[in-house]
Amino acid sequence: MITLIKNATIFDPEPIGSRDVLIAGERIAAIGETLDVSGRLVEHIDASGYILIPGLVDVLTHPGGGGGEGGFGNRTAAVGFEAFRDAGITCPVGALGTDSIGRSLDVLYAEIMHLRERGIDAHMLTGAYRVPPPTITGDIARDIALIAPVIGVGEVAVSDHRGSQPTPGELRRIAADARLGGTISGKRGVVLVHVGDGRRGLAPIVEALADSDLPTDCFYPTHVNRRRPLLEEAIAFARNGGFVDITVSTTPEFLDLGEVAARDALREAIAAGAPAERISLSSDAGGSLPVYRAGELAGHSAATPGVLLDLVQDTLREDPDFAAAIIAALTRNPARALGLQRKGRVAAGADADILLLDPDTYALTEVFCRGRRLLNQ
């Protein structure tokens, strides 16, 4: 299949103006000011004025659902193919979280393979909050080396009362095993670290890295915007060569408690000297969020994948000069952090993961993932 998208306004993630994009099979074959390809096998899409951005790379999702805190009644539902597609997330990374007892990596693997067969290029992490991490084969390095969709380990919890309170040595061993599995199989083998509400912040990661031969960016902390002091630690971590991830899903109560809204957190981090390319934004889709009524905990809802696309659309409307930074943090930056070299770009040779947005409403009108047209409306 060959598809020629004509005259789209492209963000790669920086704006590069109006271009034609040629998709051949699973990849972008060429980009140019005017590409001419004809023949019965070529489908033409007139995208004049439409905004074209890379498919979103979401480093933390819970495709099988999450939560379960406060009892089995609070388990959240699976996210599902349509929800990812309609949110423009062509590369979600699935993980277990708090609950690795009522939920398993085997089931997560099945969810990931379901998304792949439907056309979304999903990946996954082995492990969970707990240490030692649960695995599929019995070993972190073997999971990463031998199971194609497994690209790292996580979300390993630190500074959280629900985590295993891992020692620096335990974190080092997890990172070393992930790195070994990645080295063998040509993956980055990162450790996505859930940073909780605890007073120690990023200290467990910094201590694990001290006196080790591991590079700073083998640990990839997430939820770093949950408090301003933690965000400041994350800025220092990024300046020292790490990648950090900001969570977009939130609630009014979390913001009242001091969480920094995602766009503000990204802007503040860049202004404070964190390298913009070392910061990503993720949804935590499927993870549980507390619901309050009149100040009382009334149950749990689930974070949704749509928050990422909402953020892109709101930024295009309200703060267009910042849109490229937001799009980069949802595409190229997480792809680099995860070692997915063909993701997050609109460039020849990249996977044909492409979104088209309506020029007036910014509504998502087309989704391509590895050249397959998943949405056309």
Contacts to Zn ion by CB under 5 A: 155, 194
Question: Is 139 considered catalytic here?
Answer: no
Note whether 194 and 129 are within 8 A (CB).
Answer: yes
Pick from 326, 139, 147: nearest CA to 248: 326
> Which DSSP string corresponds to 319-365?
-GGGHHHHHHHHTHHHHHHHT-TTSS--STTSB--EEEE-TTT--EE
Minimum CB–partner distance for residue 192 and Zn ion (Å): 9
Choosing from 284, 319, 321, 351, the catalytic residue is 284
Minimum CB–partner distance for residue 139 and Zn ion (Å): 23
Minimum CB–partner distance for residue 337 and Zn ion (Å): 16
Cα gap 319→94, rounded to integer Å = 30
Minimum CB–partner distance for residue 113 and Zn ion (Å): 23
Note whether 344 and 333 are within 8 A (CB).
Answer: yes
Strand 150-158: give its sheet, edge to edge. Answer: 56-61, 89-94, 123-126, 150-158, 190-195, 219-222
Cα gap 176→183, rounded to integer Å = 10
Toward Zn ion, which CB reaches closer, 13 or 242? 242
Cα gap 15→375, rounded to integer Å = 23
Toward Zn ion, which CB reaches closer, 90 or 159? 159
Minimum CB–partner distance for residue 97 and Zn ion (Å): 5
Q: What is the C-alpha radius of gyration for the chain, rounded to an integer number of angstroms?
A: 20
Toward Zn ion, which CB reaches closer, 233 or 366? 233
Q: Which residues pair with 42 in a beta bridge?
A: 2
Toward Zn ion, which CB reaches closer, 121 or 155? 155
Toward Zn ion, which CB reaches closer, 179 or 194? 194
The token duo for 275 is 């390298």
Closest residue (Cβ) to Zn ion?
194
Toward Zn ion, which CB reaches closer, 129 or 362? 129
- Range list of H helices, 240-293: 252-256, 262-271
The token duo for 212 is 């080790």
Minimum CB–partner distance for residue 223 and Zn ion (Å): 6
Which residue matches tokens 């770009």?
345
Q: Give per-residue burial for 57-88: e unless 16+ CB within 10 Å, then b.
A: bbbbbbbbbbbbeeeeebbbebbbbebbbbbb
Within 10 angstroms of residue 131's Cβ, the number of other Cβ atoms is 19
Catalytic (active-site) positions: 284
